[in-house]
Structures are given as structure tokens and as C-alpha cells.
Amino acid sequence: MTIALQKSADAAATPVTASATIVPLSQPRASNVQTKLIPAAKEWAATLIPPIITVGALLLLWQILCMKPGATLPSPSRIWTDAKDLIVDPFFVAGPQDIGLGWRILTSLQRVAVGFGLASIVGVLLGALVGQSVWAMRGLDPIFQVLRTVPPLAWLPIALAAFRDSRPSAIFVIFITSIWPIIINTAVGIRNIPQDYRNVASVVQLNQLEFFWKIMIPSAAPYIFTGLRIGVGLSWLAIVAAEMLTGGVGIGFFIWDAWNSSRLSDIIIALIYIGIVGFVLDRMVAFIANIATRGTQAA
């Protein structure tokens, strides 16, 4: 008994020899498949199967409801036959206005990128100003609070009058729609910078610019990204609506055009595209936020 104890103590004290005797055994490898692969597969199944079932059930219900002769909306099978080209190939080009939905989405995304990009830069700067200066907040906050409630499309006539062109007008609508949550969240983030960090900055004597980059932005990053995430969602909402009115090759105009020529199936496909892209945009910002703010929360 004592000898056995002695032995195990020795083994514990010299792990190198202990592991050397274990390596040749093949058992750990076999269990590796069991302990890693199978639970992973189970997890995948657990996340994938429920949505597949619900989507299947909804499609079935939809099919049953819209199969009747007097149905006003097309059934899934009808959509498949009507709009097969749009579904299977997002990137075909058959003429100036006859292109795949992928191209249209890309055009819309391009506008969103410009409008939302500008809104991000201006929004963070204005938010920093409002969050940092009591007077700027008193002066600007009431204006922001009123303007942010204006619906996106209400800006369009003014933009069209000012720019006399539909392209910059659509971009302006995106900009003005998405900037408010960015400003407001950034300002809250800046106001919530702990006094400790400000003290550190003063002792080290950071100048305004260094304070902005080294303290403000990282400290407010979680708030800023919340604003950006709301903003990107609003942009995507606004671009579809704006394009319906301004024309061009974007996805919004495609829907309007399809409505005017009674292509209901095309509209439904476009809606699905828009939903998926909006979802991906949201997840992208969330993903970037996750990476950028990793470890920035105070312990």
C-alpha cells in the first residue's frame, strides 16, 4: 500500500516519464472522436433542425392557403415556377434592367456603404462632442431628439430639392436615418467614461487628440457599436424605401417595378433577399464589435 502510494507520488513528480508511457496507446485518439465530434454534431443538429422544421411547416401552410383558385397571393410552388431564374442565379445579366437580384443588392449595398460610412464618421465625432461638452449637449441634444423621430422618407423631398439628383438623395436619406442612434449612443458612451480614466489621462497629460483615440474611442466602443448596429439596420430599412421612389437598379426599385407590372412572385423573392442581407449586415457589425471590444470591459 505504502509502496503504491510512493510510486504514484513519484509519477506525479515526474510527469515527463509518465506521459511517455501513455503516448503509444491508441485509446485517447478513439475517444477523441467520441468526445469531440459527436457532441459537435449534436450541437449543430440542435441549432439547425428546429428552424428547418418551422420553415418547412410555414411553407406548407402557405402552400395550402394559397392553392385555392381565388387566392390573391402566389403559393411557394407558383413562385418557384414564376421566378426560378431569380432564385437559382443571383448574378445573371440579360439586359440593362434585366439583371440578377445579387447585382441589385450590391448596388443598394454600395449606397448603404457610402451613406452609413459617412454617418458613422460624422456620428461618432458629433457624439464625442455632445458627450464631452456640457454646452454642446445642451445646445444640440434637443435638436437631435426631435430630428431623430422624423421618418426616413420624409427627408427625401428635401434631399431631392437640395441635390437635384436621385443618387445623392438616396445616400443622404441613409445618412440622416442612421446617424441619430450613432450620435446618441456615442454620447452616452463618452459620458460614461469612468472618472478614473480621465484622471489617468490628465496625469499622463494626453492632449485632446490622444485622449480621443486612446481613451474615448476604446472606452466608449461598446456603446458606439450598439449605435452602429442600430444604424446599419435603419440604413437597410431606409434604402429599400428610398429606392422605391428614386429609381435606378437597386433592390428597392426592383420591388416597385415588379409591383407595377404585377410580378408578385418576384416581389416575394426580393423580400427574402432583403431579409437575409439585413440579417447578415446586423451579424457582421455584431461580429466586428465582438472582436473590437474584446477584453475592453473593466474586470
Residue number with CB closer to another protein (70 or 295): 295
Residue 63 is a binding residue for another protein (CB under 8 A): no
Report the C-alpha gap between 7 and 187 in whole angstroms: 65
Residues 215, 218, 222, 224, CA torsion sign: positive
Residue 216 Cα distances to 88, 171, 196, angstroms: 47, 28, 12
Using CB under 8 A, which of 17, 63, 133, 202 touches another protein? 202
Task: Name residue, grid cell 455632445.
Answer: 130
Q: Which cell numbers in the block locate residue 71?
A: 387566392
Considering only the stretches 124-132, 146-154, 164-172, 189-197, report the one whose residues sit in contact with another protein under the rule CB under 8 A.
Answer: 189-197
d(CA 3, CA 236): 73
Give the range of 89-97, 104-112, 193-201, 257-265 binding another protein by CB under 8 A: 193-201
Beta bridge partners of 99: 93
164: left (phi over 0), alpha (psi -120 to 50) or beta: left
| Longest pairwise C-alpha distance within the chain | 95
Indicate the residue among 54 and 202 with the shorter CB distance to another protein: 202
Rounded to a whole number of angstroms, the minimum distance from the CB of residue 204 to another protein is 5
**Judged by CB, which is closer to another protein: 77, or 199?**
199
**Comparing C-alpha atoms, which of 112, 274, 131 is closest to residue 190?**
131
- Of the residues 197, 237, 249, 286, which one makes contact with another protein according to CB under 8 A: 197
Question: How many residues lie near another protein (CB under 8 A)?
Answer: 22
Instruction: Answer yes or no whether residue 209 interacts with another protein by CB under 8 A.
Output: no
- CB 288 to another protein: min, Å: 15
**Residue closer to another protein (CB basis): 78 or 198:** 198
Binding site for another protein (CB under 8 A): 194, 196-197, 199-200, 202-206, 210, 214-215, 218-219, 221, 293, 295-299
